[in-house]
């Protein structure tokens, strides 16, 4: 028997919107959150644009922004679920790439007042929501789906009736500096699966969902988690291994009790980098085979940038909204698809209508940490 877990609440913030609904509407409109850098000087770098959240009152950066994003989306998800802000013993699982590293940079560089406790998401979640069972996982770009996998384990084992899963990241200058040096010709946009893609651009954001063992009495759930698979091949620090990605997809399908022919929508990881896009395309071709043209595929990082630890849940929430609204967000920067994408059914210039019930979400992180989720809509 295949288990499924109801998603009863969700929240999101990124460069396009301060709520899940605002973000989805902007995505459907094909808007981009790319803007001139606000958080630090560009004098030392070749790139001058990022997908930042515009939440600063002046030109100065401030510590604690990743934590602020996190608290905002948890609050939104709890309200959406009709639950109290007092979480008590409800587990809160947080995925992240860089935690509060930007706060450390500001402390070291400008003497910003930062205490050790303020670097721990758990302390802030405990203070704001009274939650004492908190855990943070720094698993790069697959972190929030990794946390989702652990949440389903807790529910399946009967260790919890409700779990809050979240992901959050703010852009750090050190990570931006590394990307800027690696990408000597800075990309002017994130172009997933395009022949002219030059690399990814960092984005900020957070996302959260509330899972339960049973839907409860607060109305219909937003959707259902049917299965999550995580593997780690340690193939290379950054380059993906297509075979391991394909293995994660197959295992997720098996957990969910589905086949490729059942999937209606795929939220591709789609970073816009040479190696990652190629590896993902090859894995999709291997798994889907003759059903490759069956699902509609999209890649939202073209409009939000790479939101790192939040990116998996961002895609999951977008998938649920897409299935509910009957429209799939586009990839407006995709003009010349690579040969490996031949045969895919791609949403490109504008949002496309779709009658979808099942969606697959891909998230692949540094070191070969691959996570794939299958979710069911509530239409």
Per-residue pLDDT tens over the stretch 177-192:
998 888 878 899 999 9
Asked if pLDDT for residue 219 goes beyond 80, the answer is no
- Quote the pLDDT of residue 215: 82
pLDDT of residue 217: 62
What's the rounded Cα separation, in Å, for the pair 105 and 96? 17
Give the chain's domain count: 2
pLDDT in tens, 70-81: 999 999 999 999
Select from 159, 188, 212 the last residue of a domain: 212
CA distance 293 to 114: 51
The 10s digit of each residue's pLDDT in 146-204 is 999 999 999 999 999 999 999 999 999 999 999 888 887 889 999 999 999 999 999 99
Q: Is residue 370 part of a domain?
A: yes
Does pTM top 0.95 for this prediction? yes
Q: Select from 181, 212, 243 the last residue of a domain.
A: 212
State both tokens at 318: 């977008």
What mean pLDDT comes out for the span 70-93? 97
Percent of the chain predicted with pLDDT > 90: 84
Average pLDDT, the chain: 94
Residue 217 lies in a domain: no
Q: What is the pLDDT of residues 274-291, one digit of tens each?
A: 999 999 999 999 999 999
- Looking at the fold, whether 136 and 196 belong to one and the same domain comes out as yes
- Whether residue 79 is contained in a domain is answered as yes
Residue 217: partners with Cβ closer than 8 Å, 6 or more residues away: none
Shared domain for 58 and 207, answered yes or no, is: yes
pLDDT band at residue 59 under the 50/70/90 scheme: low
The whole domain housing 271 covers 224-376
User: Within a 13 Å sphere around the CA of 258, how many CA atoms are in the beta-carbon half?
Assistant: 26
State the Cα–Cα distance between residues 17 and 25, nearest whole angstrom. 9
Q: What is the CATH classification number for the domain harbouring 90?
A: 3.40.47.10
Please check whether residue 219 lies inside any domain of the structure: no
Residue-level pLDDT at 291: 97
How far apart CA 217 and CA 293 sit, in angstroms, is 39
- Same domain? For 268 and 229 the reply is yes
Q: What pLDDT band is residue 1 in, cutting at 50, 70 and 90? A: low
């Amino acid at each position: 028997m295949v288990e499924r877990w109801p998603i009863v609440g969700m929240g999101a913030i990124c460069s396009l919107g301060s709520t899940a609904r605002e973000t989805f509407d902007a995505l459907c409109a094909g808007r981009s959150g790319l803007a001139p850098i606000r958080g630090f000087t560009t004098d030392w770098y070749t790139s001058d644009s990022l997908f930042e959240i515009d939440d600063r009152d002046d030109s100065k950066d401030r510590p604690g922004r990743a934590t602020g994003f996190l608290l905002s989306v948890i609050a939104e998800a709890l309200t959406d679920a009709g639950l109290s802000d007092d979480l008590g013993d409800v587990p809160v699982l947080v995925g992240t790439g860089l935690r509060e590293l930007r706060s450390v940079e500001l402390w070291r560089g400008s003497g910003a007042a930062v205490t050790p406790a303020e670097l721990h998401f758990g302390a802030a979640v405990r203070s704001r929501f009274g939650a004492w069972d908190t855990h943070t996982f720094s698993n790069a770009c697959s972190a929030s789906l990794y946390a989702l996998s652990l949440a389903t384990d807790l529910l399946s084992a009967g260790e919890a009736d409700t779990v809050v899963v979240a992901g959050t990241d703010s852009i750090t200058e050190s990570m931006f500096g590394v990307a800027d040096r690696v990408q000597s010709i800075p990309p002017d946009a994130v172009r997933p699966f395009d022949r002219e893609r030059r690399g990814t651009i960092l984005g900020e954001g957070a996302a959260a969902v509330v899972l339960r063992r049973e839907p409860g009495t607060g109305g219909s759930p937003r959707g259902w988690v049917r299965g999550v698979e995580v593997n780690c091949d340690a193939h290379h620090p950054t380059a993906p291994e297509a075979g391991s990605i394909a293995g994660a997809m197959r295992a997720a399908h098996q957990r969910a009790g589905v086949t490729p022919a059942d999937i209606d929508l795929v939220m591709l990881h789609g970073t816009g980098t040479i190696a990652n896009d190629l590896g993902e395309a090859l894995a999709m071709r291997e798994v889907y085979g003759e059903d490759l043209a069956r699902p509609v595929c999209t890649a939202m990082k073209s409009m939000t940038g790479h939101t790192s630890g939040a990116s998996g849940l961002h895609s999951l929430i977008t998938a649920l909204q897409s299935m509910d609204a009957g429209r799939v967000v586009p990839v407006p920067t995709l003009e010349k698809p690579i040969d490996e994408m031949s045969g895919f059914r791609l949403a490109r210039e504008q949002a496309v209508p779709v009658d979808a019930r099942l969606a697959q979400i891909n998230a692949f992180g540094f070191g070969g940490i691959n996570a794939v989720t299958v979710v069911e809509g509530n239409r």
